[in-house]
Amino acid sequence: MHLHLVPGVDVAKSVIQELDTNHDGTLSLFEERSYVSQIIHRLSVFLNGEQQPITLNTATFPPLKDIQGGTGVVDLQLTITTVPQIGFNHLIYINRGSGPETAWLVNCLLPSDPTFHILQQKRSPNQSDYQLDFQILPSKIHN
């Protein structure tokens, strides 16, 4: 899962306050990890009714001046380690983000695996809730 968080100018000040907890104008590794932990805590992913653990792969933070200007992108690459079943699967993604001023855009990329078929996607109006129905076909082994 790949998240691009782009705080707009209107919310930049509150995001910077949430990020820069000691108010020294720079982000320490501790502050970055604390923020990532808060983001992950607000996310839930379920596959076939079972909640899946979310772990961080990488996190990249822009300079605070970029966030203040509305152009800074916090880039988080997260992993959900699970094994979908052969046949029908149902994935639910829930983002309990910052508040009503938050906007989401959720997409599923076209799979490169020919056994993976997207059947249906559903989104809430603000895209904080997303559901994906997909099917995995058995692999055919050629001799």
Q: Could you give the count of Cα atoms lying within 13 Å of 21 in the half-sphere of its Cβ? A: 9
Query: What string of pLDDT tens digits covers the 143 residues of the chain?
Result: 888 888 888 888 988 999 999 999 999 999 999 999 999 999 999 999 999 999 999 999 999 999 999 899 999 999 998 888 999 999 999 998 766 566 678 888 888 889 999 999 999 988 889 999 999 998 765 44
pTM: 0.84
Token representation of residue 72: 């800074």
Q: Give the per-residue pLDDT at 87.
A: 95
Report DSSP letters for 122-133, one per residue: EE-TTSSEEEEE
Q: Mapping DSSP to helix (H, G, I), strand (E, B) and coil, where does residue 92 land?
A: strand
Decide if 90 contacts 132 (C-beta within 8 A).
yes
Residues 44 and 78: beta-carbon distance below 8 Å = no
